[in-house]
Amino acid sequence: MAAFIRLDDSPMFQNQICSLELTADELKDRCQSLYKGCKNFMTALGEACNGDTIFADSLEAFGGGTDDPVSVSVGGPVMSKFISAFHELATYKELLRSQVEHVLIDRLMHFMTVDLQEAKDSRRRFDKAIHAYDQARERFVSLKKNTREDIVAELQEDLENSKSAFEKSRFNLVNALMNIEAKKKYEFLESVSAIMDAHLRYFKLGYELLKQLEPYIHQVLTYAQQSKEQAKVEQDRLAKRIQEFRTQAEMDALRASSNIDPSAGVNVIRVFGMNSHKSVEAIMQSRANGEVQTIKQGYLLKRSSSLRGDWKRRFFLLNSQGSLYYYRVKGTKPMGSHPQHFTRPAEQNSGMFGRFRSKHNRGASLNEDILSCRTVDLRTSLIKMDAEDSDLRLCFRIISPLKTYTLQAENEADRMDWINKITGAITSLLNSQFFDQPSHITTNPETNKSTGGASHGVQTRNSHQDLGDDIKSNKIECVSSILRGVPGNDLCAECSAPEPDWASLNLGILLCIECSGVHRNLGVHISKLRNTLSNQLQVRSLRLDVKVWEPTILDLFRNLGNAYCNSIWEGLLLLEDVRADDSNALIASTSKPCPKDAIHLKEKYIQAKSQTSDHRKNQTATMSGTSSVGDKSLDSGSAKSSSKPVLLSNTHDNLSSHPITTHKLNGENYLQWSQSVMLFIRGRGKTGFLTGATQKPKEGLESIETWESENALIMSWLINSMEPTISKTYMFLATAQEIWEAAKETFSDLGNSAQNYKDDAGTYGPIIPSSNKINN
């Protein structure tokens, strides 16, 4: 307070306040500039910290693995200490960034938003207090001598209060300004010096860390120099081996070409191939010991399956398991079209498998650019000399049911070597029982006489058979778990027996064994059955049934299930039961059987359900005729009405008090209820009463009585399909559309779910506008 010599309110006092305010404003501008620079500095430190972390992570990903051969080869274990050091340096930099944020930026922000802002707010309150004090003073001094004493006392009290508020705000402004003057002398010096101390500790920690690593760094540099000299020696050895390899390859090519005499024709080629077959079969025998050897590998030109039919260089590999693979050469450009080759699309589609191959080739051509390795199935393939185009040289074909591979070698010797070895592999695969059958009893006569050898062969076959059964059993159990996971599939769809074992493929339901027998008697045009599971005897006796459960069939059963199907079939059966007359005794008076009921009761119920579709078609036709008559009667009453009700015959009036669905609305099953009710109403051509398309005729027309009768009938259907605690709140609505919309708005997740509520009595009720209530 030393800056203010006197505290009286005077022009000098006001001048000092203005001077301090100007200083505070200038200080605020400088603080904002400093704040921007601090933010940029902190951002740079954060980016540098992130850069150190990213560099350490990339270095760790490059060679941080201790067991990875690539990491070991590039010195990953040696660099592990360096990686840890970089992570530690990043931690130090993050600590520095955090200190800049808290010690400098946060304190600077607090000074601007609290101290400077407090001075600004104090000035605003001071100006307001001056204005109030001036008004009170003017009102008091303007009083006349004859003014009543109570008014004078009131204005005098108001003047004193205004003056007190003025003095308080004046000194608050002085305190705020002097607080700024005091803090600016030490706040910034303290913050900046703290940041410098943080930098000192940052560099000190980094120096101490790197000082400890200094001996290790020099040791690694020495080791790297030694490795460099050793690598140079190994490169010289590799160059020598490459030269020897090229010399040997040229000698092998000359030797192979000398074995083929063009004048000898095919006979010499076949003799040479027989020797190759024997060598291939000898190599493929090693697969029984778990050894996989490479019979032949090398590059061949492969004709593409695209429309252009261009030639691409692929690396082929034939191993002792009879598998032929070819690989794309990534990193090099594919070869263009061969100048002397002509595209023959008919070559790909010739033969009995041409149509299937063309479809397969389209999919293969799409995946060929993605996959780096493809497999050729040799067990169902054969080799043909040359290509379809007889003008092409050095070509041969591998023809399989899925695709025809047209290949071209670089020379005649290489082509014959590939043909002979692939042919030998195919012959060995066809003669071998290794893949498809278990090991048989040895052909040694002495072993055949031995009982132990025979029993060993039988045990081997049994073990392979058990293995196949286990695989089939696992597949069936997987199908079983999927089917029984669908809602309602834990019980039989007809009699509710637990754990149903049979499925109707065209109905999408699971059945017990007794109900499946009834369905089988109905014929496959109604219900097509397959066994689903479950015990080992069923698995063994119904092996081929597993092929039925393709993904599309499983998806169908997931979307259907017993619960959903019965909501439709049994709902229709209930309607047919109510409408049944004396001429249809089979459908009338049917009830769902229990698991322990006699088979004839189950058969009666199932047959009644199977006849509901035909019976319902006839009813639909009848209703259509009745509807047309009703339309004419309404049309004659109101020619201007664009939507007319579809009439029901009077024979259906007995349905007004009967529930139209087995899913009564209980407040939680709106979707099931609405679907089943809409299905019933749509079957009778009455959806216009729910959607509002069937408008009420004008008063005075004859058709209004018919409309009101139809509307009352549909209202009774809707109310009888609800639980009593819900239906009693809908009885006071005027139309079926209002009931339908109110139920949707109250219970549907697709409507206004916020309007679900219970009234004081604990029952559900709709939110109904007052205009929708029936006028009494």
Q: Lowest-confidence range among 150-159, 242-251, 309-318, 645-654?
A: 645-654
Is 258 part of a structural domain of the chain? Answer: no
Select from 424, 496, 435 the least CA-distant residue to 464.
Answer: 435
Q: Which amino acid, one-letter code, is at 748?
A: S
Contacts of 593 (CB under 8 A, 6+ apart): 494, 495, 601, 602, 605
**pLDDT score at 746:** 84
Query: Within a domain: residue 225?
Result: no
Q: What share of the chain is helix, strand, coil (3-state, %, to 5)?
A: 65, 5, 30
| Strands ordered across the beta sheet of 395-399 | 373-376, 324-327, 311-319, 294-303, 404-408, 395-399, 382-385
- Residue 42: which of 118, 115, 132, 105 has the closest Cα? 105
pLDDT of residue 316: 92
Q: Which domain holds residue 405?
A: 264-431
User: Are residues 421 and 542 located together in one domain of the fold?
Assistant: no
CATH number at residue 586: 1.10.220.150
Asked whether residue 148 carries a pLDDT value surpassing 50, the answer given is yes
524 and 380 in one domain? no
- Report the pLDDT value the prediction gives residue 359, as an integer from 0 to 100: 39
Task: Classify residue 447: in a domain, yes or no.
Answer: no
- With the CA atoms of 474, 476, 479 and 480 taken in that order, what torsion angle do they form, in degrees rounded to the nearest 10? -100
Which pLDDT score is estimated for 286?
60
Apex 48 CA angle, 44 and 54, nearest 5: 140
More confident residue, 619 or 29: 29
629-652 average pLDDT score: 37
Looking at residue 37, its pLDDT comes to 93
**Range of 7-21, 198-212, 240-254, 424-438 with top mean pLDDT:** 198-212
* C-alpha radius of gyration, the chain, whole number: 47
Give the pLDDT score at 476: 54
Q: Which pLDDT score is estimated for 93?
A: 93
Last residue of a domain, one of 199, 232, 254: 199
The answer to whether the CB of 302 falls within 8 A of the CB of 329 is no
Task: Tell whether 479 and 501 lie within a shared domain.
Answer: yes
- Residue 732, Cα to own-chain centre: how many angstroms? 48
Give pLDDT, residue 627. 40
Q: Are residues 736 and 702 in the same domain?
A: yes
Do the domain assignments include residue 599? yes
On whether residue 531 sits in a domain, the answer given is: yes
Position 346 scores a pLDDT of 40
Single residue among 577, 594, 610 that ends a domain in this structure: 610
675 part of a folded domain: yes
On whether both 604 and 624 belong to a single domain, the answer is no
Pair (378, 475) in one structural domain? no
Amino acid at 277: H
225-229, 339-343, 743-747: segment of lowest average pLDDT: 339-343
Q: Do both 657 and 592 map to the same domain?
A: no
Q: What is the chain's mean pLDDT, rounded?
A: 73
Q: Name the domain count of the chain.
A: 4
User: Is residue 138 located within the same domain as residue 168?
Assistant: yes
CATH number of the domain to which 89 belongs = 1.20.1270.60
What is the per-residue pLDDT for 461?
41
Amino acid letter, residue 677:
V
61 pLDDT exceeds 70?
Answer: yes
State the pLDDT confidence band at 571, using cuts at 50, 70 and 90: low
Assess if residue 282 is contained within a domain: yes
Is 268 within 8 Å of 420 (Cβ atoms)? no
Res. 440 pLDDT band, cuts 50 70 90? very low
Do 565 and 649 fall into the same domain? no
pLDDT at position 259: 63
Looking at this protein, which amino acid is placed at residue 64? G
Q: Kindly state whether residue 680 falls inside one of the protein's structural domains.
A: yes
More confident residue, 567 or 601: 601
pTM comes to 0.36
Rounded distance between C-alpha atoms, residue 703 and residue 95, angstroms = 87
Range among 387-391, 422-426, 725-729 with highest mean pLDDT value: 422-426
Most confident of 44-48, 257-261, 377-381, 564-568: 44-48
pLDDT tens, position by position, 674-731 = 888 888 888 778 888 888 888 888 887 778 888 888 888 888 888 888 888 888 778 7
pLDDT tier for residue 531 given thresholds of 50, 70 and 90: low
pLDDT of residue 49: 93
Higher pLDDT, 29 or 615: 29
Same domain, 419 and 472: no
pLDDT at 65: 67
pLDDT at 524: 61
Q: Report the distance separating Cα 81 and Cα 79, nearest Å.
A: 5
Percent with pLDDT over 70 in the chain: 66
Say how far apart CA 442 and CA 97 lie, in whole Å. Answer: 79
Q: How many other β-carbons are positioned within 10 Å of the β-carbon of residue 367?
A: 9
pLDDT in tens, 11-43: 888 888 888 889 889 999 999 999 999 999 999
Please compute the mean of the pLDDT values over residues 212-229 and round it to a whole number: 92
Residue with tokens 């009703």: 630
For residue 552, the model assigns a pLDDT of 66
Query: What is the CATH number for 422?
Result: 2.30.29.30
Tell me, what's the pLDDT at 713? 86
Does residue 538 carry a pLDDT above 80?
no
pLDDT average, residue stretch 317-343: 62
Instruction: State whether 396 and 489 are in the same domain.
Output: no
* Domain co-membership, 90 together with 193: yes
- Between 526 and 35, the more confident residue is 35
Q: Which of 586, 610, 634 is the last residue of a domain?
A: 610
Read off the pLDDT band of 48 (50, 70, 90): very high
Distance CA 250, CA 655 (A): 97
The model's confidence at residue 499, banded by pLDDT at 50, 70 and 90, is confident
Closest by CA to 474, choosing from 462, 466, 486, 485, is 466
Of 535, 558, 532, the C-alpha closest to 546 is 532
